[in-house]
Structure 1
């Protein structure tokens, strides 16, 4: 129970990090800086997920393998969307 409370407080502490700290954590994790103009919440959520995954375990190898079948040529350190060519014929990604 104590470990869970510690994890909860660590995850809550992510909200207290500076934007520079969150950006540094993103860069360290993904090997590239976050997209320009990304909102703070999108920096906080992956940081919190990685804390939780480190403590409680991340995705199982079966899940990682299954996800890999959906994006077989994805780069290991950079998001897949960075490899898309920009052209007038390329459909836009939906904005959420």
Structure 2
């Protein structure tokens, strides 16, 4: 799955970004950046782990216990400020 997103992101012009764990508790597996319509944008792919759900207060779905759950998220600042994947 991670190989798929690396390939697809590169093909669409996304550049690899720094990878670290943001304060929200999500362990980021992949991070990419690019401008979308002139706005700095960040694309992240992260594992849906027990820890990620614990930080949100949501119950952990049993079907994710195999480690097969991932979330993909694109974020940008509406005012066009530089984006950081940890924001």
Normalised-by-shorter TM-score class: under 0.3
Q: Is the radius of gyration larger for structure 1 or structure 2?
A: 1
The TM-score with structure 1 as length reference comes to 0.25
